[in-house]
Amino acid sequence: MINRIQLRSRPITPAPVTTRRRDAAATREALLAAGTELFAERGYDGVPVTAIADRARVNKAMINYHFGGKRRLYLAIVSATFAEIVAAVERLAESPRPAPLLLREVVAAVGEMATRRHPHFCTMMLREALAGGVHLEPALVEYPARILAAVQRIVARGVNEGAFRPVDPVLTHLSLVGSLVFFFATRPFRERVLSRQRPPARPPDPAAYVRHVQDLLTRGLAAEGGGRARRPTRRPRP
């Protein structure tokens, strides 16, 4: 009896605050990663909350606790990823470096996002685009619009400086983003097609494709005569 009383009277030591914060952050990251993978695989409407929780290995109540439901989790994924790429592209658009170099770096930034940082995001967003963006709030549609505006500024400056021939900046943006998103979003199907060739063809390396798009754009946009910058027009002396 004495031992039982002693055991019951022992104070319970709460978990350190830093441990609880670390566990909460790990849970959020697990849900974001699981959600991105599943939304890419099945689309928004094809993913139940139980599937996300099972993939993240947490209780499904954690989705409501950390994000407020499946839709808010979806929007959190889109917002965080777009914010990252928008910041990188807008930073490049404000740089004084030559426009052809900046355009190559925009391609590299998108490639880095798609291969290393968020490998399922292109597939997820291609599904969303095919659905007409119905799951996105108006504020999130501003993100791709800002990427477009940044690319437009780079292209317009390249044309003005004589590095690029006169081209439509919107079509240039679509060529850049469209080709990269399609490449990274369709990897499983591409690998399946290439495996049926005899002998089987080796799937293209993502880094090699990024370099290919860089060369294709910058050389295809180059002004005649090697892309020499225009000299400023001299005003006639009075």
DSSP the chain: -HHHHHHHTSPPPPPPHHHHHHHHHHHHHHHHHHHHHHHHHH-GGG--HHHHHHHHTS-THHHHHHHSSHHHHHHHHHHHHHHHHHHHHHHHHT--S-HHHHHHHHHHHHHHIIIII-TTHHHHHHHHHHTTSTTS-HHHHHHHHHHHHHHHHHHHHHHHHTSB-S--HHHHHHHHHHHHHHHHHTHHHHHHHHHTSSSPPPPPPHHHHHHHHHHHHHHHHBPTTT-PPPPPPPPPP-
Residue 6 lies in a domain: no
pLDDT tens profile 116-161: 889 999 999 999 999 999 999 999 999 999 999 999 999 999 999 9
Residue 47 lies in a domain: no
Residue 62 lies in a domain: no
Residue 86 lies in a domain: yes
The pLDDT confidence band at residue 5, using thresholds 50, 70 and 90, is: very low
Better-scored residue on pLDDT, 200 or 185? 185
Residue 70 lies in a domain: no
Q: Of all residues in the chain, what percent carry a pLDDT higher than 90?
A: 76
Residue 213 lies in a domain: yes
Threshold 0.75, pTM exceeds: yes
Residue 234 lies in a domain: no
What range defines the domain where residue 170 resides? 76-221
Structural domains in the chain (count): 1
Residue 44 lies in a domain: no
pLDDT at 177: 93
pLDDT tens profile 74-111: 999 999 999 999 999 999 999 999 999 999 999 999 99
CATH number of the domain that residue 90 is part of: 1.10.357.10
pLDDT at 2: 47
19-35 mean pLDDT? 86
